[in-house]
Amino acid sequence: MILFLLFLVRKHYTSLKNLPPGPQPWPIIGNMHQMAKNPHIAAANFAKKYGPLISLRLGTRLLVVASSPDAAMEILKTQDRYLSGRSIPDALQQSFIDYYFVWARDCNKHWKSCRTLCWAELFSAKAIEAQSTLQNEKLARMLDFLNNTQGTVVKIEELIFTTLINTLSNILFSKDFLDLKDDETAHRLKFGLLKILENSVTPNVSDFFPIVGGLDLQGLRKDSLNHLDELSSFSDAVVKERRAQITKKVHVAVHEKDFLDRLLENNFTTAQINILVLELFIAGTDTVVTAIEWAMAELLKNQNIMHKVQAELKRELSYDSIMKSDLSKLTYFNACIKETLRLHPVVPVLIPRRALKACEVMNFTIPQNAQLWVNVWAISHDPKVWEDPNTFKPERFLGSNINFTGHDYEFLPFGGGRRMCPGLPSAVKSLQTILASLILVYDWTLPNDEDPKTLDMSEKFGVTLQKEKPLQLIFSRKK
């Protein structure tokens, strides 16, 4: 299959006159392994030679990659209206293609309906305040679990994942989906979500040549559908039960109206609900888990920075006040979070956009249906933009007005424009609260007295940029 893809790239590469320059075919082929494993790094290297906007022809697909703040601004702001479509990977093109929210092909009626509902019920300041008691309850349960596992090795990513899934499932359905003690079910759910994401970014001949898409030669679409069916089993029973209660008009008010009630009131079908829930679970868990794991790894490796953070948290907070405090006022703590998201952008390449119509970007014509990548990783590692970009240095954000909001194009951890992550306020709140609690309440050590300075920081590319080797820690409560 790899040899076949190499042939396709070489045979169908073209250089268009009105497009930005791109690398010649043989450099691509020579670096195909890097392109497949670390496309964000390969694209960043191409940008150094060919400029901040490059074009590649892969089969019938034209890909334009932006690797500078100026190019990102033109795509996400200046031409946002015309470049706000999506190219849905063949692996995700099932019979419910019109039900996507994050992956919606354009900002259509369904997308607008989902965005309005999600903002009102999940992500507005009022909604987040209403969720605070529930979030604090789930966080307290996680900390109690850690209290009972002192001295044993904990896979921190799976623990945080379970906590976030249960928080979300209660907001959406008023029930827990997972048990902190049930590693197997949590792992199965996490594996399914990540596998769907992995399939969406795996080089797929069906994406390069849609004419053979129906054959699903690599089996990615079938595999994604199998995982989706399994994941839908977590919500199908709840939806069916709620519909039956509504039909019989015996809906017992054991809870205030949750997100599922709102979706049913707006006539969402079960398939639409399952797809939206899948996207919310992915967006609301994987990004936060990944960011926290990278932050913890960096603080472990940089003990001097850890001590500064601990001192600030101890000075400004107590354990009982963490969940009630405005953590955004902790300057050094938040500088560490920003630096983590700069050095390890959770989404290294923003979910690809599609040109809804031809438009101009940096004096080049982007044809209709071209796919656009904004290479956040390249921007955040560019020495022209950031001094000493490969070093974890939170001080660079002290006294800076750069924020998460998508208006600073040198720092885009949550994207920008109309396709910016709608869950930004909720994600930042969860990230701050969980990380502050773990720092303030516990001391962390690596298994077998491993030296934190030797911690493996290798990355694993995907829709999210994960640690290749998951972080395992031993927690002991501070005295």
- pLDDT of 445 reads 93
- SS3 assignment for the chain: CHHHHHHHHHHHCCCCCCCCCCCCHHHHHHCHHHHHHCHHHHHHHHHHHHCCEEEEEECCEEEEEECCHHHHHHHHHHCCCCCCEECCCHHHCCCCHHHCCCCCCCCCHHHHHHHHHHHHHHHCHHHHHHHHHHHHHHHHHHHHHHHCCCCCEEEHHHHHHHHHHHHHHHHHHCCCCCCCCCHHHHHHHHHHHHHHHHHHHCCCHHHHCHHHHHHCCCCHHHHHHHHHHHHHHHHHHHHHHHHHHHHCCCCCCCCCCCHHHHHHHCCCCHHHHHHHHHHHHHHHHHHHHHHHHHHHHHHHHCHHHHHHHHHHHHHHCCHHHHHHCCHHHCHHHHHHHHHHHHHCCCCCECCCEECCCCEEECCEEECCCCEEEEEHHHHHCCCCCCCCCCCCCHHHHCCCCCCCCCCCCCCCCCCCHHHCCCCHHHHHHHHHHHHHHHHHHEEEECHHHCCHHHCCCCEECCCCCEECCCCEEEEEECC
Instruction: Tell me if 402 sits within 8 A of 366, measured CB to CB.
Output: no
- pLDDT of 5 reads 45
Answer yes or no: is 359 a known binding residue: no
- pLDDT of 288 reads 94
- pLDDT of 256 reads 72
What are the pLDDT tens digits along the chain (479 aa)?
A: 444 444 444 433 333 346 676 654 434 444 445 565 788 888 898 888 888 998 888 778 888 999 999 999 999 999 999 999 998 899 988 778 889 999 999 999 999 999 999 999 999 999 999 998 999 999 999 999 999 988 899 999 999 999 999 999 999 999 898 888 877 888 888 888 888 888 888 888 888 888 888 889 999 999 999 988 888 888 888 899 888 888 776 655 555 789 999 999 999 999 999 999 999 998 888 899 999 999 999 999 999 999 999 999 999 987 777 877 888 899 999 999 999 999 999 999 999 999 999 999 998 899 999 999 999 999 999 999 999 999 999 999 999 999 988 899 999 999 999 999 988 999 999 999 999 999 999 999 999 889 999 999 998 887 788 899 999 999 999 87
Q: Which long-range contacts (CB under 8 A, 24 or more apart) does 422-426 make?
A: 422/115, 422/118, 422/119, 422/123, 423/118, 423/122, 423/123, 423/280, 423/283, 423/284, 424/123, 425/123, 425/124, 425/125, 425/128, 426/122, 426/123, 426/128, 426/131, 426/284
Rounded to two decimals, what is the model's pTM?
Answer: 0.91
- pLDDT of 255 reads 54
CATH of the domain at 460: 1.10.630.10
Q: Which domain holds residue 456?
A: 2-477
* Count of domains observed in the chain: 1
Instruction: Tell me if 181 sits within 8 A of 73, measured CB to CB.
Output: no
- pLDDT of 432 reads 95
